[in-house]
Amino acid sequence: MSFWLSCGHREDDMDKHYNVITKSSDCDEDGFKKALAYSVVCKKCKEFYKKENALFDTEEEAMKWLMSDEDWHF
């Protein structure tokens, strides 16, 4: 059985995907704001997010970033 992951890649093995929290953005009537994305991705995409410093290890770390003044671009 195949699965389509949030990253857009297809995976056949249930053990080869990762639940991640990454930096993201959202747009409303006030413009762009930083946000969090909860996704299921392949190993290659997980490594990409890690390399780009957009991957969080914990939800606490993600919430700290979300509430900070740190820039949201990656």
Q: What is the predicted pLDDT for the residue at 74?
A: 57
Q: What is the predicted pLDDT for the residue at 56?
A: 97
What backbone phi and psi angles, to 5 degrees, belong to 44? -60, -45
Q: What is the predicted pLDDT for the residue at 13?
A: 84
Q: pLDDT tens string for the chain (74 positions)? A: 788 999 999 998 888 899 999 999 999 998 989 999 999 999 999 999 999 999 999 999 999 999 998 876 65
CA 69 → CA 19, 30, 32, distances in Å? 26, 17, 14
